[in-house]
Amino acid sequence: MAVSITPLSENIGVEVTGVDFSQPLPAAELAEIKQALLDHLVMVVRDQSLDPKQLLAAVRLFGETMEQHLTDTLMDEHPEIAVLDSSKMPPDKQGRVIPFGARTWHTDHTNHERPPKYTALYAINLPASGGDTSFANMNFGYTALPQEEQASLLDLQTVNKIEDFGYIGEEARVKFGTLPVHPLIRTHPETGKKALYVHPGKLERIVGRDPDESQTFINDLLDRVITPENTYRHKWRLGDLLFCDNRAVLHRAHKDYDMAEGRVMHRVILRGDRPA
């Protein structure tokens, strides 16, 4: 079957069919797929059937896997894979049970000095309905702002913390709780495009502002830059292998499903550059 690449929306997302990542992939096809991901920022490869070793081999075609700090979710035999199972989600300190990735729009693991360039999600089990994930193109969101506002954001920096959740072990809190500073507007190292880059849940503060003021500022900004024109809502199918470019995309899982049914994703992240 020939590889087919089809846009999923006008400004973000592409669907790839005719690829079997359990088998060797011709170099020309892999190059075409990699370029599609760079161009469209989110890419879903349909109809995959991958065991954990095959999943890691497929994802490593796109870069180097990196350590995740979601300690209690990591697969024993393959700790590069986090098993995100809604039926096993523990309550937070307020007693709320909120699915992985559903609290805020965010980019992954900003509390790392070198956050991931890509997040890969592989659909293992899905609820009867709901459980979508939405993605927002932050190249588009940033450039849609007035030029004066774009310029005013360029010098802002964020201080990033690790979140205090029950599935993150103490060792990980120490190792990845160093409060790295990243630019609010980062330049993509491969495309050269600028994008809004932030994880509100990991935002300790904006440099020079107090935490409350920083959160209010970021929440207002996200309310304005995330619009129907630059978002794509993905309805999962079993066997979907989805890649998201964390350097230019924010994403958010929806919590409109029965968590007891077990929405299960295998997540792998790939090491990126220090944001600049």
In the chain, where are the structural domains located? 4-271
Considering the four listed CATH numbers 3.60.130.10, 3.40.50.1820, 3.30.200.20, 3.40.190.10, the one that applies to the domain covering 4-271 is 3.60.130.10
**Which pLDDT belongs to residue 89?**
84
Q: For residues 22 and 50, what is the distance between their CA atoms, to the nearest angstrom?
A: 6
Write out pLDDT tens, residues 211-247.
999 999 999 999 999 999 999 999 999 999 999 999 9
pLDDT at 166: 66
Q: What pLDDT sits at residue 102? A: 87
pLDDT of residue 16: 98
Residue 158's Cβ-side half-sphere holds a number of Cα atoms within 13 Å equal to 27
Tell me the mean pLDDT in the region 10-35.
Answer: 96
Count the alpha carbons within 13 Å of 73 in the hemisphere toward its beta carbon.
26
> What pLDDT digit, counting tens, does each position of 175-207 carry?
877 899 999 999 999 999 999 999 999 999 999
Give the model's confidence band at 54: pLDDT under 50 very low, under 70 low, under 90 confident, else very high: very high
pLDDT for 50 = 98
65 band by pLDDT with thresholds 50, 70 and 90 = very high
Mean pLDDT across the chain: 95
**pLDDT tens digits for 74-100?**
999 999 999 999 999 887 777 788 888
Q: Regarding beta strands 194-196 and 4-7, do their DSSP bridges make them parallel or antiparallel, or are they unpaired? A: unpaired
- The per-residue pLDDT for range 144-166, each reduced to its tens digit, is 999 999 999 999 999 999 887 76
Q: What is the mean pLDDT of residues 3-20?
A: 97
Give me the percent of the chain exceeding a pLDDT of 70.
99
> CA-to-CA distance for 184 and 256, rounded, in angstroms?
30
User: Looking at the predicted structure, is the pLDDT value of residue 1 above 90?
Assistant: no
200 in helix, strand or coil? helix
